[in-house]
Amino acid sequence: MPSDTLRNTRSHLFYQTGHPRPVLDRAEGIYMWDSEGNRFIDGSSGAMVCNIGHSNPAVLAAMQAQMERFTFGYRLHFVTEASEALAAKTASLAWPGMDRVFFVSGGSEAVESAIKLARQYAIAIGQPSRWKIISRSPSYHGCTLGALAISGYEALSDPFLPMMQAMPKVSAPRAWLDGLDPADPATGAHYAAELERKILEEGPDSVLGFILEPVGGASTGALVPPAGYMEAVREVCTRHGVLLIHDEVMSGGGRTGRFLGGQNWTAAPDILAVSKGFGAGYVPLGAMVAQGHIVDAVMAGGGFLHGFTYAGNPLACAAGLAVIAEIERQDMMGNAQRTGALLKRELEGLMPRFPFIGEVRGMGLLLALELVADRDSKEPLPPELRAFDRLTEQAYQRGLIIYPRRSRGGYSGDHVLIAPPMITTPAQVGEIMERLTDALTAFAAECGLEAVA
Ligand code: PMP
């Protein structure tokens, strides 16, 4: 259907409510064009998905080659070179001992798979009383009922509470908001102590796992854990026989400068979930990766009672393999570190001019701006202002796509994520900053907020 027809026809699609959007025509590198030729900078890689940029020729060629041979082989009927090779590559990039890989088609599926494997493991080792998954508030782990039950995201989960099992929550380690020093290991210990209290309160024999995003995504806005946190929560989990699950759906795939966000610290999880940057927008793809001994116990106990039809889809796996090859060939993780550091400095440089920027957070090319009414008191902007949405729209009108916070999670703050593809150059950082500065100026004027000229 031609673009004009598309634009003028009532859509049969429905998603969440949102702003009317133009028809996407093509995309290349960090740029996207609508059907009228307007160019956008993909400053959030979609929803932190298109990590290696759009239309990468090597990935397209790998997909083409796979398509010409076959596009589907059901996992109970055949193994495929693509799925075997991607599983081996994924295991080599994960933590030592985490060498068993289970493919899925997205983040929610990866998280569901992780919590179901954890549960079957507990049963297999004779601990069937363990079923609770502790998670953090705020957090987001997916929209299926199981993943939603462990998400600290009330606005999305409340209507469905009667249909799912509410799970215990602890505070996300938002040191800045809580007035604690993120560089002080006592801060990490403080949040880990809350986890331990929660495990004791719930009864350690009932707690199956603790799930966290190593570097926070949309709910916490690129939250980097405070010093000592990752090691301290690992230690608490080990002490109480609780499985540690890393949700790397957003932080995995190289964007933080390491293939897994958690690899910026030393403490390994027992199970992890990846998606988004794993298929990098070329295909729906995700994986759950687990310690070998966990999978062995579950398999010895009769096998994993779980699996999706499209698991290990050869086209998706061929694309995923090519995505990783491109990340390595172009040293994109090195670029995420270097360009991320540059972009972060530039964003921090905006703070004197725009006092409503409360904090610049993040790691590599997963960065966020927190928007506040007062930087010292951290008082949030009035929720009815919908500042996250207004700033995102001002940027969109200037051809810059950024990602707004949609969560509330007990604190009515606003943030936007800035996470361009890992191929972004210093000159393109300049382009992003120019548009973002204009958007911030217009946003300040629209909302009556102070901005220094
Ligand atoms: N976990 C995290 C950390 C995420 O950011 C997301 C998606 N935003 C999900 C899980 C769910 O992924 P999906 O939307 O692909 O199901």
Q: Which two tokens stand for residue 52?
A: 């290696």
CA distance to 11, 42, 299, 312, per residue, from 303 (Å): 44, 42, 4, 17
Burial of 97 (0-12, 13-18, 19+ CB in 10 A): middle
Pocket test for ligand 1, best of 141, 256, 260, 310 (most atoms within 8 A of CB): 141
The answer to whether ipTM exceeds 0.85 is yes
pLDDT of residue 411: 57
How close is the Cα of 243 to the center of ligand 1, in Å?
A: 20
For ligand 1, say whether the CB of 221 is within 6 Å of any of its atoms. Answer: no
For ligand 1, say whether the CB of 250 is within 6 Å of any of its atoms. Answer: yes
Low-confidence ranges of the chain (pLDDT < 70): 1-5, 7-8, 406-412
For ligand 1, say whether the CB of 261 is within 6 Å of any of its atoms. Answer: no
pLDDT digits (tens, 9 = 90+) for 112-145: 999 999 999 999 999 999 999 999 999 999 999 9
pLDDT of residue 412: 65
pLDDT of residue 156: 87
For ligand 1, say whether the CB of 111 is within 6 Å of any of its atoms. Answer: yes
Q: How much is the pTM?
A: 0.97
Residue ranges of domains in the chain, CATH in brackets = 3-55+331-447 (3.90.1150.10), 59-329 (3.40.640.10)
Q: What percent of the chain has pLDDT over 70?
A: 97
pLDDT digits (tens, 9 = 90+) for 64-113: 999 999 999 999 999 999 999 999 999 999 999 999 999 999 999 999 99
